[in-house]
Amino acid sequence: QKEVEQNSGPLSVPEGAIASLNCTYSDRGSQSFFWYRQYSGKSPELIMFIYSNGDKEDGRFTAQLNKASQYVSLLIRDSQPSDSATYLCAVSYTGTASKLTFGTGTRLQVTL
């Protein structure tokens, strides 16, 4: 069973701080990694994707991938109340064509 694990939270950070969200996966053959943001009652929105080891930055968001340790993380700098949402990690596994496996998500709360 290919798994994607996330801490369900809630992760609470003060406004302006860095939020760090983590995700681990079970298959070393995993190739592509995605972060989605989902507001309560809404559908997921793609924030970032990363394919190679290292960091990838996009505005206030940084995705970090470490294939040797089988984890991927999302850093949100200068966290804003509007960042309060559930963040879903998704992984594509080798040999599964275009299928993604999703984690259960981490709920982030940014406090004033």
Measure CA of the first residue to CA of the last residue in the chain; give whole Å. 40
Which residue type occupies 88? Answer: L
- The continuous run of DSSP H or E covering 1 comes out as none
For the CB of residue 20, give the shortest distance to another protein in the complex, in Å.
Answer: 20
State which of residues 37, 92, 108, 110 lies at the interface with another protein (CB under 8 A). Answer: 92
**From CA 52, how far away is CA 45, in angstroms rounded?**
21
**Of 22 and 32, which has the nearer Cβ to another protein?**
32
In this structure, are residues 108 and 9 in contact, taking their beta carbons and an 8 Å threshold? Answer: yes
**Among 17, 49, 60, 71, interactor with another protein by CB under 8 A:** 49
Among 105, 106, 108, 110, interactor with another protein by CB under 8 A? 105
75 binds another protein (CB under 8 A): no
Nearest to 74 by CA among 28, 37, 32, 111: 37
Interacting residues with another protein (CB under 8 A): 4, 8, 32, 34, 42-46, 49, 88, 90, 92, 97-100, 102-105
